[in-house]
Structure formats: structure tokens, C-alpha cells
Chain A
């Protein structure tokens, strides 16, 4: 039994991959709380596609991957915010236009320079084999910065998430907070791309937060639960990926989907129990 647990750790790629999966799972869970409560679930999906476009551009222009794709994603998030603030276009439409156009740039460049199609499969679907020690340090650094940023703007972020318009009246610089959050989100997506893949990041952002929301009515508990679900599913998902031989992103997301199903059942049972209790008292 212990062998089954320890055997994968003999491989460096698994050690690196597991650490990164736990970190990005936790970070996606943490950020996902704000995304879900702001009703922006679609932005994770859109922005990850936009970042894919940025990653291809960074490759073609020989820029640093993290810097190129990160700046591209941040620019896309800011453009979405500004489009929504300054025009009559709704957030979902703005996300649809800007991120799909960005993704299309990536696809266009891949079809033009076919020689690197293979390496972008990993970016689309996630591949633990590609996680280097340098990636690990970058992901750990990004995660630390995200945690520090959220720690120091926790109150402002909570107020803006609860009621952005009133937060502004009370002196919160909502535009600044939105821009900072866009930067946090873009950084998290870049960090997650290697392990989860563009196509599955959105699920890792949304599922832990939704599951946590089903299990608690407390904001602080939701933050802790969502982060834990993300991190634990990242860890177990890596084992499943190793032993069943499936893509790491898919195993993590499928596990999270299972947790969501469980949370849904628990939430329904609780609701049923409280209704019965109410009827008993009446």
C-alpha cells in the first residue's frame, strides 16, 4: 500500500507535477470564490483561451512565455473590464468577442507555423511531463504573490464582490480593485496552464468554489473549503493521472466534478432535513 503511495515520487516529473498541481488547485479554488460570487464564471474559460493566444505570440516572437502570455491575458482582462464599463455591451458578450479573437490569433499563428503544433497540445490539455523545476519556482512565486495581494485587499475585494456600486460610494477604488483582480486572474491562469491545460482551467476555477458554496453560508469558510478542495483534488488527481494514464488536467477536473456531485447531494439532504424540522415545529 505504502509502495503505491510512494512509488510515483521516485520520478522527478511527478514530484514537480504534484507540487504544482496542489498549488494551482488551491490558488484556482481561492480565486474561484470571487469569480463565482461575482457571477463571472465565464471569464475563466474566456481568459484561458485568450492566454493561449498570448502564449503562441510569445513563442513566435521569442518572448519569455510567462511574461508574454501573462501580459496578453492581463491586457485581455482589462479590455473586457473597460468595454463593459464604457459601453452598453454585457460582460459575457465582451468576454466572447475579446477572448475568442485572442484565441483565434493563436490558432492562426499555429496554422501558419505548423512546426510547433505538438508543444501546444500540452498547453491545451495539460501535461505533467512538461513541468520543470524552474516552472515549479515560477508557480510557487506567482501563488505567493496572489495570496499576499488577496490578503491585503481582502476587505475591499469582499465589498466589491458583494456590491460594487455601493463599495465605490464608500470610497473603495473599484476600478483599481478590478484591475488588480484581472492581474491576479491572469497570473493564476498562466501558472495553471501547464498542469491543467487551457481547456480545463475554467472548471478548476469554478467547481471548487461552487462546491464550497453548496456546503457553507460563510464567506471565510467558503474561501478555506474551496482552496482545500482545489489543493486536495490536485494532489489526488495527479495519482489518478499517473496510475490510470490520463491527462493530469482531466483527472483533476473529473475528481472535482465528483466532489461537486457529493456537495450537491449533501446540500439537498440538509435542505430536506431543515424543511422536515420546520414542518415538525409548525
Chain B
């Protein structure tokens, strides 16, 4: 099968410093992949190369077998980090979502009936149709994420690219967003996202790409979330806990950290509490 996205020996640098080196990556239609790695590993740079916002210094980026060559990728729906949005900008949910139609939009300032119908369908699918006239500032974290997801979907993309979709939202909202992405993936949408929360990535993304300037490893979560690979990716001391078919990744506590075992809230599931009050393991 022809890959949807293919990066061949791609290198890119901002100035003399390389951000990415010799990246070989294939993403096939219907895949759901999470890019993980520490800050500064080149995750967002890789996304920008896929989006066509950057041109590689070396190597090529292909989409459906066609060379992208630093041009905007017409097959992609992009959801940026929510932290980059100006929430005071005077726009409604409807206006933001319709921005996603810009490639196919008529030249008139107002949307066509067909565009409005399509928007209504997507908003209903994401369960935010009642918010269409609401100002974007007046939305919760999860609703905001859904609005920008709707903007990406209305572009009728083959690939959804999301930059940190769980950043800045609470745990429950993050869980909902990832479930929503998994649902879209089950309906056939190809998804590529960057994510910092390794446990969420392990639970929801069937394919993980570990990145730190180069691809350290890629594969199913149980294949790549092993201590050697994570230590090389994060250049830290990582610990992987496997329990009941689930994976938990945690940075190993420093040697000076003392442990206090707090009273066992659930029989058989003790919780360790480290000296800064942080709960280090939940199994």
C-alpha cells in the first residue's frame, strides 16, 4: 500500500543547529501515530515538515507519492496547540470552523448553504452544535479542542495533524479528546499527533514514534515503551510498569527522594508518595 505520508532521509535545522536528522517515516492510510520525545526533540518541526510549512534541508517529504516540496499540504487538517490561540479575538465557533473551508470557499464573504450544512453535521458529530454562535472565549478546554478539531475536519482531510492536543486541559478532558481521536481513526481518519503524556499515548495510540532529533524507535506501545528506548529518547532514567495489560511510564525518582507508603485506598493497590507530594506510581 502506498504511504499517505513518507519522509525519506529528511534533515532540517534552524541555522547551524540540526533539529532533525535522517528521518525516515511512513504513515499509511488509517494509521494513528503519536510522536513522543522531550521538549526540543523536533516534534513540532517534524509536524511542520508534514504540513508543508517548512522545506527540508535534505531529503524529501511525499504525500500520496507526490513530492510536497515545502508547499502547504492540501490533504491535511491541522489542529494547533490551544495555547497559541488568541481567545479574545472577536470570532464565534461558527466563524472559526468555517475557516477550515478556505481552500474550497466561494469568494463571497458569507458561507454557502452547503458549507453551513457541512459545518452543522460536523458540529453535531463532535457534539458542539449548540455552541455555534458562542464566542470562543466562552468555551471549556474540551469544547475548545473540539472546535479546532471541527475546523480541521471541515477541510475534508486525509490526515489529521494535532500538536499537543492534550496540553493545557485537565485529565478527563484529555481522555475525552483522545477517545474522540480514536473514534475518528476507527472511522478511517489517519491521525498524527505530538503528545507529552506517555501514559495517554500508550493507552490510545496504536503506533508510537520516539523522537529525539532522529527516530529512536517506532512501533506498538508495548514494543517501544521499554526502558532502554525511553532512556535513549528522554536521556533520563525511565521506569515502565506493566499491569493487567496496561503500560505506565514514569521517571524513576531521584535517589534522595524518600518514599512514604500512604494508607492503601484500594486493597492490593498501594500508592507511593514522594517527598514533594507527587504520586509516583498508581499500581
Contact = CB atoms under 8 A, between A and B. Distances in A.
B135 interface: yes
Interface in A192-251: 213, 216-219, 222
A167 B78 contact: no
Contact of A165 (B53, B89, B99): B53
A36 to B, nearest CB: 10
B78 to A, nearest CB: 5
Contact of B135 (A37, A171, A217): A217
B109 A171 contact: no
A140 to B, nearest CB: 22
Given A166-B80, A169-B53, A170-B78, A155 B89 contact: no
A162 B86 contact: yes
Given A154-B109, A155-B102, A218 B92 contact: yes
Interface in B44-103: 51-53, 72-74, 76, 78, 80, 84-86, 89-92, 95-96, 98-100, 102-103
A171 B103 contact: yes
Instruction: Tell me the dominant secondary structure on chain A's binding face.
Output: helix
Nearest to A172: B102
Contact of B85 (A156, A163, A213, A219): A163
A120 to B, nearest CB: 39
Contacts of B72: 168-171
B155 interface: yes
B203 interface: no
Nearest to A221: B90
A84 to B, nearest CB: 17
Given A152-B107, A159-B102, A166 B78 contact: yes
B105 interface: yes
B228 to A, nearest CB: 36
Contacts, number: 67
Instruction: Tell me the dominant secondary structure on chain B's binding face.
Output: loop
Task: Kindly name the residue among B51, B102, B105 whose own CB sees the greatest number of chain A CB atoms within 10 A.
Answer: B102
Contact of A37 (B89, B102, B105): B89
A169 B78 contact: yes
Contacts of B85: 163
Contacts of A170: 72, 78, 99-100, 102-103, 155
B6 to A, nearest CB: 19
B20 to A, nearest CB: 18
Contacts of A168: 53, 72
A263 interface: no
A219 B78 contact: no
A91 interface: no
B86 A169 contact: no
Contacts of B102: 155-156, 159, 167, 170-172
A162 B103 contact: no
Contacts of A216: 90
Contacts of A169: 51-53, 72-73, 76, 78
B84 A163 contact: yes
Nearest to A166: B80
Task: Kindly name the residue among B86, B91, B100, B107 whose own CB sees the greatest number of chain A CB atoms within 10 A.
Answer: B91
B51 A162 contact: no
Interface in A161-186: 161-163, 165-172
Interface of A: 37, 151-152, 154-156, 158-159, 161-163, 165-172, 213, 216-219, 222
14 contacts: A159-B99, A162-B89, A167-B102, A168-B72, A169-B53, A170-B102, A170-B103, A171-B102, A216-B90, A218-B90, A218-B92, A218-B135, A219-B89, A219-B95
Given A170-B155, A171-B103, A217-B135, 4 more contacts: A155-B99, A159-B102, A162-B96, A171-B74
